[in-house]
């Protein structure tokens, strides 16, 4: 972990920062500080005669930028490449280009200055738009502008020039094209002041596979070039000037973790089965089709949740039925005969699409026009997705799952639209699996309480605990101020889960969990003991959760679940789970604590 022995000098006081970890792993390196001054522009007056030359400079910079972006796209995986489509659209935007040319002619300044001013105006107008998707394009305009600027001056991105190995990039923010130009042999970590885990930059940083933390607020003003810096991308922790003791301790932790991870990798082809032979299905969650690679290497048995809305959001236009079919087919075929559960669009809440002619403005979007409610109000969009899923069902073991069901009527109407989609395909002569299984996500308390009635309409349930906790305990899942109340082992949650599982079994249907709680190996014994049939988790958590399953007996799991259901304290339940894990699989505590 520490290649440079001088890093451990511990000369200055430790500075600790907490943010949001977006790519796990721990590392110690030296700060490379990217400052906003890197992008500063020199202003120059030009004569009337110089105008054509300045316009020509601009046009060559546009051509060079377009070529570079196409080259970047060609070298990226398709999910990443689609992010750059928005950049190409900006480069072809007539008003953007014409305003710059007019600015050069009228204001007689060098193009570098006019470009920055026009882009600023563009970004200010976008920032005011209510539509979240369009607001997010501000970052794209900024990124494209920076690239045109670099082509005007001939300067390269400073991040591409990093030559020191063991470098940790520290910045207020970095753009997608800077991220893809990062030299991965030299840069060992990334720490940013800004950013949310769902931003484009965070998605790209996550795919670099190096420890990264965003949302650190005031790290970059406090760090200096060359400072020793420690990053824990799992915990979202950054320490500038880590002490010698901290580094020694971390080196031991990293080595121990490396050994454990290598051992757990050997479980890949073994079943998710308790010591006494109780077997469940261990699946993984994906957001875009390319994530299936991580699923296949993780040792998961299939996909228990494909969050399709990200596939819709990572492109400028709505995907057609054929494009969706291609995406779903590619995953289904690679997984077959393992199952792939496709969740129909879960838009609304905090996920919006700008290319739909609808107003997303609501005062309480998580309680509003979200998921199945939105799809039932947009039957054409919904039927198109259902037709694509149905057609993909001939290529593998495909199942359909509806999100945010809260009433019986919703599931009956969704199934009716599914029947219409089937009829349309028959009329068009397209093949599909007529017996495709349909499931309901149980993520609203009302659904968990009437699971016995919902069971008549579906073949499986999947507990979406991220939302079930949010809606049951009345905690906005994205609000840091009430995050301390977000308690998966709250008695109300355990009872709702138990009711759903028991009702499912009485109705002869299986129940899984695809919320984040299932990825926590300390929760595995409890969830097994509640009688869960399937866990769908992040691919990275598959080895450790499989280890937890294989380390316990079903009778121990039943005991802890019974104790949990009769306890009145969620803290006690958590402590019991920790103690049990310490007894049956102490290596798990070394990995997660």
Whole-angstrom distance, CA of residue 3 vs CA of residue 164: 12
Contact criterion met (CB below 8 Å) for 268 and 311: no
Q: Does 514 bind ligand PEP (CB under 6 A)?
A: yes
The DSSP call for residue 279 is B
- For residue 514, the partner it binds in Mg ion, ligand PEP, none, with Cβ less than 5 to 8 A by kind, is ligand PEP
The DSSP call for residue 171 is E
How near is the Cβ of 410 to ligand PEP at its closest, in Å? 16
- For residue 488, the partner it binds in ligand PEP, Mg ion, none, with Cβ less than 5 to 8 A by kind, is none
Non-local CB neighbours of 285 within 8 Å, separated by 6+ positions:
303, 304, 305, 306, 307, 514, 536, 537, 538, 539
Q: Is the peptide bond before 311 cis (omega within 30 degrees of 0)?
A: no
Q: What is the pattern of x (binds ligand PEP, CB under 6 A) and - over residues 290-309?
A: ---------------x-x--
Q: How many helices (H) and strands (E) does the chain have?
A: 25, 16
- Which token pair is 72? 């970047």
Residue closer to Mg ion by CB (options 167, 406) is: 406
Q: Are strands 15-18 and 237-240 parallel, antiparallel or unpaired?
A: antiparallel
Catalytic residue among 87, 241, 375, 514: 514
How near is the Cβ of 515 to Mg ion at its closest, in Å? 7
Residue closer to ligand PEP by CB (options 90, 372) is: 372
Q: Does 515 bind ligand PEP (CB under 6 A)?
A: yes
Catalytic residue among 87, 200, 241, 574: 200
Torsion angle of C-alpha atoms 413, 418, 420, 425, degrees rounded to 10? 170
The DSSP call for residue 156 is P
Q: Does 287 bind Mg ion (CB under 5 A)?
A: no
Non-local CB neighbours of 199 within 8 Å, separated by 6+ positions:
136, 139, 214
Residue closer to ligand PEP by CB (options 109, 490) is: 490
Q: Does 241 bind ligand PEP (CB under 6 A)?
A: no
Contact criterion met (CB below 8 Å) for 31 and 168: yes
Helix, strand, coil proportions of the chain in percent (round to 5)?
55, 15, 30
Q: For ligand PEP, which residue of 178, 227, 291, 467 counts as binding (CB under 6 A)?
A: 467
Residue closer to ligand PEP by CB (options 133, 278) is: 133
Q: CA of 332: how far to CAs of 429, 437, 446, 556, in Å? A: 21, 14, 32, 36
Q: Which residues of 409-436 are buried (b: 16+ CB within 10 A; e: fewer)?
A: ebbebbeebbeebbeebeeeeeebbeeb
DSSP string, 117-140: HHHHHHHHHHHH-S-HHHHHHHHH
Q: Does the annotation count 514 as an active-site position?
A: yes
Strand order in the sheet with 20-23: 15-18, 237-240, 228-232, 26-34, 167-171, 187-192, 212-214, 20-23
Residue closer to ligand PEP by CB (options 148, 494) is: 494
Longest Cα–Cα distance of the chain, Å, equals: 87
Q: Does the annotation count 200 as an active-site position?
A: yes
Q: In terms of Cα–Cα distance, which of 441, 17, 361, 64 is closest to 193?
A: 17
Residues in 434-463 that interact with ligand PEP by CB under 6 A: 443
Which residue is listed with tokens 């070394």?
590
Q: For Mg ion, which residue of 227, 287, 467, 533 counts as binding (CB under 5 A)?
A: 467
Stretch that binds Mg ion, among 220-228, 243-251, 256-264, 466-474 (CB under 5 A): 466-474
Q: Does 534 bind ligand PEP (CB under 6 A)?
A: no
Q: For ligand PEP, which residue of 466, 499, 507, 553 counts as binding (CB under 6 A)?
A: 466
**Coil, helix or strand at residue 370:** coil
Q: Does 346 bind ligand PEP (CB under 6 A)?
A: yes
Whole-angstrom distance, CA of residue 390 vs CA of residue 397: 11
- For residue 307, the partner it binds in ligand PEP, Mg ion, none, with Cβ less than 5 to 8 A by kind, is ligand PEP
How near is the Cβ of 385 to ligand PEP at its closest, in Å? 16
Residue closer to Mg ion by CB (options 54, 467) is: 467
Stretch that binds Mg ion, among 239-247, 354-362, 458-466, 478-486 (CB under 5 A): 458-466
- For residue 131, the partner it binds in Mg ion, ligand PEP, none, with Cβ less than 5 to 8 A by kind, is none
Q: Does 464 bind Mg ion (CB under 5 A)?
A: yes
Q: For ligand PEP, which residue of 29, 289, 396, 464 counts as binding (CB under 6 A)?
A: 464
Residue closer to Mg ion by CB (options 21, 464) is: 464
How near is the Cβ of 451 to ligand PEP at its closest, in Å? 16
How near is the Cβ of 213 to ligand PEP at its closest, in Å? 21
Which residues sit at the interface with Mg ion, rule CB under 5 A? Answer: 443, 464, 467
**Catalytic site positions:** 200, 514
Which residues sit at the interface with ligand PEP, rule CB under 6 A? Answer: 305, 307, 346, 443, 464-467, 514-515
């Amino acid at each position: 972990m520490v290649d440079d022995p001088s890093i451990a000098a511990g000369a200055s006081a430790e500075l600790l920062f907490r943010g949001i970890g977006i790519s796990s792993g721990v590392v110690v390196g030296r700060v490379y500080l990217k400052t906003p001054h890197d992008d500063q522009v020199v202003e120059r007056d030009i004569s009337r005669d110089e105008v054509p030359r300045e316009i020509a400079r601009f046009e060559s910079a546009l051509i060079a930028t377009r070529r570079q972006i196409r080259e970047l796209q060609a070298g990226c995986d398709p999910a990443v490449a689609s992010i750059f489509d928005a950049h190409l659209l900006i480069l072809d935007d007539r008003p953007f280009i014409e305003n710059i040319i007019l600015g050069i002619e009228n204001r007689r300044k060098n193009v570098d200055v006019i470009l920055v001013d026009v882009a600023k105006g563009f970004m200010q107008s976008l920032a005011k738009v209510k539509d979240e998707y369009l607001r997010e394009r501000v970052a794209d305009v900024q990124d494209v502008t920076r690239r045109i600027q670099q082509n005007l001056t001939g300067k390269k991105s400073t991040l591409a020039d990093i030559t020191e190995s063991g470098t940790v990039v520290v910045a207020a923010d970095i753009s997608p094209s800077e991220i893809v130009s990062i030299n991965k042999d030299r840069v060992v970590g990334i720490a940013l002041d800004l950013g949310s885990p769902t931003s484009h930059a965070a998605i790209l940083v996550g795919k670099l596979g190096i420890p990264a933390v965003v949302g650190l607020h005031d790290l970059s003003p406090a760090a200096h070039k060359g400072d020793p810096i420690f990053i824990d991308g799992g915990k979202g922790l950054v320490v500038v000037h880590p002490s010698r003791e901290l580094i020694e301790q971390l080196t031991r932790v990293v080595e121990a973790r490396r050994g454990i991870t290598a051992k757990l990798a050997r479980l890949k082809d073994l079943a998710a089965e308790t010591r006494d032979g109780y077997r469940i299905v261990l699946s993984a969650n994906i957001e875009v089709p390319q994530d299936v690679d991580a699923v296949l290497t993780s040792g998961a048995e299939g996909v228990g949740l494909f969050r399709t809305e990200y596939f819709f959001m990572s492109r400028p236009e709505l995907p057609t039925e054929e494009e969706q079919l291609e995406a779903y087919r590619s995953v289904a075929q690679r997984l077959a005969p393992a199952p792939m559960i496709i969740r129909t669009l879960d838009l609304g809440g905090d996920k919006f699409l700008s290319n739909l002619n609808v107003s997303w403005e609501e005062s309480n979007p998580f309680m509003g026009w979200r998921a199945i409610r939105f799809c039932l109000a947009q039957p054409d969009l919904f039927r198109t997705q259902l037709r694509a899923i149905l057609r993909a069902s001939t290529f593998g073991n495909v199942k359909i799952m509806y999100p945010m069901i809260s009433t019986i009527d919703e599931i009956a109407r969704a199934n009716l639209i599914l029947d219409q989609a089937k009829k349309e395909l028959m009329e068009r002569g397209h093949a599909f699996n007529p017996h495709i299984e349909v499931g309901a996500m149980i993520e609203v308390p009302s659904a968990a309480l009437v699971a016995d009635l919902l069971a008549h309409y579906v073949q499986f349930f999947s507990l979406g605990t991220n939302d079930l906790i949010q809606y049951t305990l009345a905690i906005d899942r994205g609000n840091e101020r009430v995050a301390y109340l977000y308690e998966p082992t709250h008695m109300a949650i355990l009872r709702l889960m138990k009711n759903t599982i028991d009702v499912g079994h009485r109705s002869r249907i299986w129940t899984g969990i695809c919320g984040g709680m299932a990825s926590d190996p300390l929760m595995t014994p409890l969830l097994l003991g509640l009688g869960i049939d399937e866990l769908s988790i992040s691919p990275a958590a598959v080895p450790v959760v499989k280890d937890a399953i294989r380390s316990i007996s079903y009778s121990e799991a039943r005991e802890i679940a019974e104790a949990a259901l009769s306890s009145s304290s969620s803290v006690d339940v958590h402590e019991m789970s920790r103690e049990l894990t310490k007894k049956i699989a102490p290596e798990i505590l070394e990995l997660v604590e």
